[in-house]
């Protein structure tokens, strides 16, 4: 049977159902008319609501369903309120799948001032890291009293918005952000390998990012070829249903970089990532991705959403 939330015509659901029922019971024609005329920006599309209610989160990758970037501010606010009954990883899953189709742009976020005048928060474009940051920020937006304020802590050391304090390296973010935690060693300890890196320090002594910061650290990773069985890890309880994944190449780490790419893995089977090749955020089969990119990466790290 085809999914209801995929194939239905796009009506909308008013979150304040009690208000509609109350109007109906009162028999007030004027109240019903007012309810029907409510601004559509205050409505959550019922296709989104049904997928959330049934926990068919991966169905939200269907781009015939309204995208996160197309929702009005009011609709997005009501969506976030609707998600409060879910766990943080489940919220992140919803917000990731709703980004499928978002146009790709390298480094679309900044600090609104020089040297990076891009906005602190925006849904217009995504790269591999920004896709994750957007989902995390929105998942915590109500708790942090705003999307931009949540982004302060997702993307900046101690919430201090500045180019110098931005998490320019993903593994540094995983150690410092309150929204992430590296769990690579817990997933498949029998396969874990380590590599050392001096973040932001090139072999020639120059810096990748022109700030007074570098960090020596050890990174745990699982060899790329060993991760093909991620679905089995999920089914056996090793791997959470919603995890972040990062991809590394050792020769680049020798020159001061950590990850070349990152994305979101659902139930060990579906990878969502912002693809520069495709020019947008895409949803693909994990095993197919592993086979296709076999020579591109050496290892994978996994992290959970807090």
Paired sense of beta strands 215-223 and 180-182, if any:
unpaired
Residue 212 lies in a domain: yes
Residue 221 lies in a domain: yes
Residue 286 lies in a domain: yes
Residue 199 lies in a domain: yes
Measured distance CA(272)–CA(262) in Å, rounded? 9
- Residue after which a domain boundary falls, among 34, 56, 74: 74
| Domain housing 14 | 1-74
Residue 228 lies in a domain: yes
Measured distance CA(245)–CA(301) in Å, rounded? 6
Residue 68 lies in a domain: yes
- Residue after which a domain boundary falls, among 74, 104, 130: 74
- Residue after which a domain boundary falls, among 10, 43, 74: 74
Look up the pTM and report it: 0.87
User: Each residue's pLDDT tens digit in the chain (306 positions)?
Assistant: 444 344 333 333 323 323 222 333 333 333 333 333 445 445 899 999 999 999 999 999 999 999 999 999 999 999 999 999 999 999 999 999 999 999 999 999 999 999 999 999 999 999 999 999 999 999 999 999 999 999 999 999 999 999 999 999 999 999 999 999 999 999 999 999 999 999 999 999 999 999 999 999 999 999 999 999 999 999 999 999 999 999 999 999 999 999 999 999 999 999 999 999 999 999 999 999 999 998 899 999 999 999
Q: Are 82 and 22 in contact (CB under 8 A)?
A: no
- How far are the Cα atoms of 78, 152, 163, 294 from residue 210, in angstroms, in the given order? 40, 21, 10, 32
Work out how many domains the chain is built from and give that number. Answer: 2
């Amino acid at each position: 049977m085809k999914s209801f939330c995929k194939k239905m015509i796009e009506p909308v659901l008013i979150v304040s159902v009690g208000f509609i029922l109350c109007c109906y019971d009162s028999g007030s024609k004027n109240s019903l008319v007012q309810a029907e005329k409510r601004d559509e920006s205050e409505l959550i599309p019922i296709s989104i609501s049904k997928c959330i209610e049934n926990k068919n989160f991966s169905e939200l990758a269907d781009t015939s369903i309204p995208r996160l970037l197309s929702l009005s501010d009011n609709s997005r606010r009501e969506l976030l309120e609707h998600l409060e009954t879910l766990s943080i990883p489940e919220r992140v899953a919803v917000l990731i799948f709703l980004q499928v189709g978002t146009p790709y742009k390298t480094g679309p976020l900044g600090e609104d001032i020089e040297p990076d005048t891009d906005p602190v928060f925006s849904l217009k474009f995504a790269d591999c890291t920004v896709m994750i940051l957007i989902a995390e920020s929105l998942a915590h937006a109500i708790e942090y009293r705003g999307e931009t304020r949540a982004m302060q802590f997702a993307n900046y050391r101690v919430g201090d918005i500045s180019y110098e304090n931005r998490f320019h390296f993903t593994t540094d973010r995983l150690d410092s952000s309150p929204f992430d935690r590296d769990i690579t060693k817990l997933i498949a300890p029998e396969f874990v390998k380590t590599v050392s890196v001096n973040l932001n320090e090139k072999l020639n002594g120059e810096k990748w990012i022109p700030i007074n910061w570098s960090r020596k650290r050890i990174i745990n990773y699982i060899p790329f070829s060993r991760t093909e069985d991620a679905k089995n890890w999920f089914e056996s309880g090793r791997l959470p249903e919603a995890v972040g994944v990062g991809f590394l190449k050792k020769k680049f780490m020798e020159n001061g970089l950590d990850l070349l790419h990152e994305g979101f893995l659902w139930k060990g089977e579906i990878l969502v990532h912002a693809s520069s090749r495709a020019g947008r955020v895409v949803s693909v089969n994990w095993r197919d991705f592993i086979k296709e990119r076999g020579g591109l990466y050496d290892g994978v790290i996994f992290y959970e959403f807090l």
